[in-house]
Structure 1
């Protein structure tokens, strides 16, 4: 029956760090340092937990399909913008593609970057078109603009996963001034840097900014994604969206987290401190990062070799060989708990 499966799903999908975890377990590490998934090691806000627990008592009912309470909380936190929500940033990405892309349409993707953009585009029948970044992984606006000509949708991640590169607001404005289609700006890690793209929503009607509650707000397990969208676009998104995508517990937890913004302040500060320490103390070059992770160049070794060696020593990091256009000698290391970060620096120095 395998012949019934669509061709785009017969190859490799999104790559998780499961193999490294299995190696660590095989070497007897019951509690390895988990630095592969860009998770927040700090727990969520107590207010988020309290509201989530309260919401459990009502899960016999469907959630609010409009996510009204969560959207109101987002406006209280960010300002007067229009928002949509879904199951993680991935749900937002899939729904946006669904509203715009027909079979055969080409979608621009700034690479190397998060591989799910291409997976989601192909799933909708479209074709991802990679636009390479410069050698320092910054975006060349002119090259990106030329690639967008005649195409409806483009993806750009900033801070970029996995390189950590932050694209300046001025470059985003230059792109939006010239392209005729929609730019999806994935800002999942924006809480960990000083750039602010939100004011651009007041100037441009061809911009969507994707955000998440998984990182700075410590709610990765509840899969809460949302996006700033132009007013004209919102009803089309809602028409295409899967019904009841964001469950009532997630909505309540998201509202609670947004009501307690001070909870993220020490989390962001800790990330800044450890990014600096990784850059200073790693024996391998570390790229500048605006996210809660860093990219490490482990050449002349390969990423797979280093991942396996670190996993055997109880440190799980991410090989970046699955990121299109990056090469085979980069690993991505999340900022974890202090003991995990110390363990990484200790073990990578021994390689």
Structure 2
């Protein structure tokens, strides 16, 4: 029976939509702080590199014209750095995910998601009329390849995030390879935080025709406000993506900023070193269990406090963190804390020991 538009729209909002972090300015006004430690959204605390800023400033002068449709300059720069893999781009990782889902998923299709994880996979699939099947992670939030394969072997599309948001868990490349060898559909491997880990999944692209690796310029390059995402895809899939893509999805200023940022690897190296140092300190000095991970954040279990209670208590101390209660399949006692500027991290450490 043909579904009604009303039922499709209603299904898109069964989970309440994407849950955003609270605004720093709201916390500042509520509790009387001139500046709040913004550790809720996994942002790079530094402005974009000088090269990115200069490129964006130049590009804005020609914004009376539509941008290019193939993002050739960005793709060439990415291939220069990472190798000659086929690349597509979009308005942030979210835009890339939406386009992949649009290209592959039709009404009633099953899509498998390793959970707990980033909620947008499920939202994008549901909006397209697909059916989401969540596969719980195992001990220490690791993906269990056998369980995942059992659910995903015949699905058109499946999602794994590594390092995973919000747990930080890094999936071994050999586990990803084993999954790829034993499923028939496409695996979207979300690598938004991969630069902060010591793993490299790119060699898998040359071996498997069913792997998409999504990445972003928001984190390590500090371009969150520019919304630049990209993905390494199989050569056969690139035309499918381009047909499904929203016209002019990536604006000219954002693309220019991304190319400029990629020309300054020292900027990224400095932030990666900063994250590594503070992630170690958090693991050593936080008086609660910290999940081991490879991202620019850590996840902390504050049991018997709930994540909401801890978030509210830390907000009163001028620290904004993310409660993990909205992540499907995760308990209520967790918070996610980004690696911010030195002063933000110091304030957080001072605040959490007094909870």
Give the TM-score normalised by the residue count of structure 2. Answer: 0.96
Please say if 1:7 is aligned against 2:10. Answer: yes
Distance 1:262 1:275 in 2: 20
Cα gap change, 1:20 to 1:60, in 2 (>3 Å):
closer
Matches within 5 A, 1:150-169: 150-169=154-173
Please say if 1:322 is aligned against 2:326. Answer: yes
Q: RMSD of the alignment, in Å?
A: 1.4
Distance 2:103 2:8 in 1: 23
Distance 1:8 1:274 in 2: 41
Task: Give the equivalent residue in structure 1 for 2:193.
Answer: 189
> Deviation per CA, 1:180-237, whole angstroms, max 9, x where unpaired?
1000000000000110001111111100000000000110000000000000000010
Distance 1:221 1:76 in 2: 25
- Say which SS state the counterpart of residue 86 (structure 1) adopts: strand
Q: Following TM superposition, by how much is the alpha carbon of 1:4 offset from its aligned partner in structure 2, in angstroms?
A: 9.2
Q: 1:69 aligns with which of 70, 73, 78?
A: 73
Q: Following TM superposition, by how much is the alpha carbon of 1:292 offset from its aligned partner in structure 2, in angstroms?
A: 0.1
Task: Give the equivalent residue in structure 1 for 2:108.
Answer: 104
- Say which SS state the counterpart of residue 155 (structure 2) adopts: coil
Distance 1:88 1:103 in 2: 25
Cα gap change, 1:201 to 1:4, in 2 (>3 Å):
closer
> Deviation per CA, 1:2-24, whole angstroms, max 9, x where unpaired?
x7981034441111112676344
Distance 1:30 1:120 in 2: 37
Give the TM-score normalised by the residue count of structure 1. Answer: 0.97
Alignment check: 8 A CA contact 1:20 1:317 kept: no
Distance 1:289 1:298 in 2: 17
Please say if 1:234 is aligned against 2:241. Answer: no
Task: Give the equivalent residue in structure 2 for 1:278.
Answer: 282
Alignment check: 8 A CA contact 2:136 2:329 kept: yes
Task: Give the equivalent residue in structure 1 for 2:3.
Answer: none
- Say which SS state the counterpart of residue 159 (structure 2) adopts: strand
Q: Following TM superposition, by how much is the alpha carbon of 1:299 offset from its aligned partner in structure 2, in angstroms?
A: 0.2
Q: 1:331 aligns with which of 332, 335, 340?
A: 335
Q: 1:17 aligns with which of 12, 15, 21?
A: 21
Matches within 5 A, 1:160-309: 160-309=164-313
Distance 2:61 2:301 in 1: 49
Structure 2 runs not aligned, ≥5 long: 1-5
Distance 2:23 2:60 in 1: 34
Alignment check: 8 A CA contact 2:287 2:353 kept: yes
Distance 1:114 1:36 in 2: 14
Distance 1:179 1:342 in 2: 45
> Deviation per CA, 1:261-305, whole angstroms, max 9, x where unpaired?
121111101100000100110011111110000000000111110
Distance 2:343 2:295 in 1: 20
Task: Give the equivalent residue in structure 2 for 1:118.
Answer: 122
Cα gap change, 1:152 to 1:10, in 2 (>3 Å):
closer
Task: Give the equivalent residue in structure 1 for 2:142.
Answer: 138
Distance 1:69 1:63 in 2: 12
Please say if 1:43 is aligned against 2:47. Answer: yes
Task: Give the equivalent residue in structure 2 for 1:29.
Answer: 33
Distance 1:247 1:88 in 2: 11
Tell me the number of residue pairs that the alignment of Structure 1 and Structure 2 aligns.
Answer: 350
Cα gap change, 1:5 to 1:174, in 2 (>3 Å):
closer
Alignment check: 8 A CA contact 2:299 2:337 kept: yes
Alignment check: 8 A CA contact 1:24 1:315 kept: no
- Where does structure 1 differ by over 6 angstroms across 4 or more consecutive aligned residues? none
